Structure 1
């Protein structure tokens, strides 16, 4: 690891201390709270849509969110560690087989839907979780 990478890693740690960034992929539906400054006032605006791409490394990570607003497709590129992004919430996890979902631009209606990714837990893991919950409630 060279000097620049170590400095960037330290900077990323500092930025993630006060802002929790979830693990998300293209295909996930995100709710991004964006800081908007209007004159002297500052407010938060929620932008909800499908993440169609992620790019960059370390501090320079970007992600693109696409939504349909009043029948028009709107895409917005956000910097992951930028000051304008207040928080990111994963609303729904999507199952896709591509890292760039630019083909959604030409799709409308049902063909633009993304199936939900289901997470399965093994029987052993679910039993272990039940046992720990039971032992904690007894104590």
Structure 2
């Protein structure tokens, strides 16, 4: 046994020694063909020039921070299809994206989130001037494709009013963002049972402009609910925007623990079923990102014109 191991080691070291000899021969031959390394330096410069030319000619690749989906999937969530596999249809989704881009070229659909205050002007046959305007806070944004919609809420004459708008509805003439902000929750349906002051906004509210390039502010206000009864059991669900939730009784705590599902955050398959893969998101937004970016630049240009006040000569 020992003789076999020793013979194997001997052969291994002989092979290593022969490999070193061949490498040194090749290196000496290469150095002898060059004059003080001039040929090597010229080859190196040629290689650098080739690499520079290839870098200049290759198309720009979105890196991790500049990917369209990293920002666009929050600004334009309706471009992502329904994650349910039984509702997927690539041809229908592509045709819908084409229709959505045509609609966006005709009307300015600005960036907004749940919690932003919007003013929507739409055409209605029953209005005196065939035009109606509604101002309210966005309490939900849902749907995908041409079925994307949002809900506005406002208290008018001490009566809570909610209107559901389709984002790509042809009757919508204009969408203005009066106050761009976010809230602590993805849905604000608990404003139905909150005090009216949290849902009351004047119909002649003026636009509040944000500095260009600034992040969207997050309004961390916590609303106070009215006394019971409520439309839903908000205390049995976890919301970050509700203040002074009454202390639950032991029976209510048991009921709340039954409704909670803490294991869902570890369910990777459920997260996969409820989301679109990142590779597919990049393909979708790479298809429409250039047109969306041009429309966003045009919207910023119009915004600057609105903010600019032409000076008036004084005598």
Query: Which runs of 4 or more aligned residues in structure 1 lie more than 2 Å from their structure 2 counterparts after TM superposition?
Result: 118-122
Of 73, 81, 88, the residue aligned with 2:168 is 81
- Given candidates 151, 163, 169, the residue that maps to 1:64 is 151
State the aligned residue count. 117
Q: Which runs of 5+ in 1 are unaligned?
A: 123-139
Per-residue deviation, 1:109: 4.2
Task: Name the Cα RMSD after superposition.
Answer: 2.6
The residue correspondences of 1:40-51 to structure 2 (distance < 5 A) are 43-51=130-138
Q: Deviations over 1:5-28 (max 9, x none)?
A: 111111111111111100100100
Q: Select the structure of larger CA radius of gyration.
A: 2
Match of 1:92 in 2: 179
Instruction: Say if 1:48 and 1:9 are closer, same or farther in 2 by CA, change over 3 A.
Output: same
Provide the rounded CA distance (Å) in 2 between the counterparts of 1:70 and 1:42.
Answer: 22
Q: As a proportion of its length, which structure holds more helix?
A: 2
> Is the Cα contact below 8 Å between 2:123 and 2:131 reproduced in 1?
yes
1:42 deviates by 5.8
Q: Deviations over 1:29-78 (max 9, x none)?
A: 00000111149x86221100101000101111010000001001000100
Stretches of structure 2 lacking an aligned partner (at least 5 in a row): 1-88, 200-207, 216-315
TM-score, length-normalised on structure 2?
0.34
Partner of 1:55: 142
Larger strand fraction of residues: 1
Distance 1:75 1:15, change over 3 A: same
